[in-house]
């Protein structure tokens, strides 16, 4: 049985760990709130954009824009979002597992390249020598639209110059603080956006032309989708971290209780032993 001193040391150490996990949980909760707000605030823009593209593509013949053209898939690109930091439960593992599955199920003759956001995914796939086209670190902390726009521009340019024929995004979709779902979303070529059949088609005056507007909108649509995915991923990361830290804190509490019990037992034993010794000593003196 460990000595009283050892147990005391353990308790102190578990306690300080618990303090850290508790603090991390609170930080994650605060950041989660902000990230969630970000999602809500970004929604109107993305929705409106979808709507506009939907109504425009009815008017303009399909396939006139490179981002809409379907090519035979020879090269596929995966854009995955992981976190830069750990201690967030299964968050990164889930994304990595999904990407690994996609890689395994790739049809024959199709090359796959990775675009990785976040250090965790990067470390994993780099160690395993997967082809990585682009990597982004530390861009998730405080997402700016500009950052997403840069990622988007790079991807659109690469797609237009036919470096790849299809782009899939893999990220954690934020459902709630305790539930994040890994989502695979095809981003390029842009799927025609269905227009509800009963939609009233209004005749607009366009300035400049329908085509010119659509040409400007489509690349931006890609950016907005990436931006949204990044926001979702960030909120999911904080959610996952919060849950992980919550359970870590609870586990620490349990451990402290158990150790305290051990400690008391050891102390009791020590006292009993001492008493016995004193009594024994007194007996011997008689």
Partner 1 sequence: MAEKSFLLEVVTPRRLVLSEKVDEITAPGELGEFGVLPGHIPFFATLGIGEVMYRQGESKRYIAVSWGFAEVLGNKVTILAEIAELDTEIDVERAKRKKELAEEKLKTMSADDKDYLKVKASLNKAMTRMIVAGRRM
| Catalytic annotation, residues | 88
Whichever of 9 and 33 has its CB closer to partner 1, that residue is 33
Q: How far is the CB of 209 from partner 1 (least distance, A)?
A: 10
Q: How far is the CB of 132 from partner 1 (least distance, A)?
A: 27
Whichever of 98 and 223 has its CB closer to partner 1, that residue is 223
CA neighbours closer than 13 Å in the CB half-sphere of residue 205: 0
Whichever of 170 and 224 has its CB closer to partner 1, that residue is 224
Nearest to 13 by CA among 278, 256, 194: 256
Longest CA pairwise span in the chain (Å)? 116
Q: How far is the CB of 216 from partner 1 (least distance, A)?
A: 6
Nearest to 247 by CA among 63, 28, 43, 78: 28
Q: How far is the CB of 214 from partner 1 (least distance, A)?
A: 11
Residues contributing to the site for partner 1 (CB under 8 A)? 38, 41-42, 44-46, 48-49, 52, 145, 148, 202-208, 212-213, 216-217, 224, 227
What is residue 201's DSSP assignment? -
Q: Among positive and negative, which fits the CA dihedral 196, 214, 43, 136?
A: positive
H-run or E-run covering 183: strand 179-188
Whichever of 26 and 212 has its CB closer to partner 1, that residue is 212
Using alpha carbons only, how large is the chain's radius of gyration in Å?
Answer: 28
């Amino acid at each position: 049985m460990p000595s009283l001193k050892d147990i005391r040391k353990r308790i102190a150490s578990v306690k300080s760990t618990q303090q850290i996990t508790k603090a991390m949980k609170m930080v994650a909760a605060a950041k989660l709130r902000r990230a969630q707000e970000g999602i809500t605030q970004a929604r109107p823009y993305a929705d409106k954009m979808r709507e506009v593209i939907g109504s425009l593509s009815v008017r303009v013949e399909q396939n006139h824009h490179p981002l809409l053209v379907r090519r035979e898939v020879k090269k596929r690109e995966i854009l995955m979002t992981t976190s830069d930091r750990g201690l967030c439960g299964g968050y990164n593992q889930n994304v990595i597992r999904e990407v690994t599955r996609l890689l395994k199920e790739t049809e024959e003759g199709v090359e796959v390249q990775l675009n990785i956001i976040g250090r965790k995914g990067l470390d994993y796939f780099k160690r395993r020598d997967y082809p990585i086209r682009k990597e982004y670190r530390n861009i998730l902390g405080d997402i700016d639209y500009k950052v997403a726009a840069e990622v988007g521009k790079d991807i659109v340019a690469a797609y237009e110059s036919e470096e790849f024929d299809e782009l899939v995004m893999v990220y954690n979709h934020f459902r709630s603080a305790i539930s994040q779902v890994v989502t695979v979303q095809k981003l390029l070529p842009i799927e025609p956006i269905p227009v509800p059949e009963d939609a009233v088609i209004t005749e607009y005056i366009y300035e400049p032309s329908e085509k010119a507007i659509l040409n400007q909108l489509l690349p931006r649509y890609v950016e907005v989708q990436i931006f949204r995915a990044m926001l979702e991923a960030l909120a999911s990361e904080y959610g996952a971290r919060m849950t992980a830290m919550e359970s870590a804190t609870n586990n620490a509490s349990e451990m402290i209780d158990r150790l305290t019990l051990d400690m008391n037992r050891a102390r009791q034993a020590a006292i009993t032993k001492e008493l016995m010794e004193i009594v024994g000593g007194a007996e011997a003196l008689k």
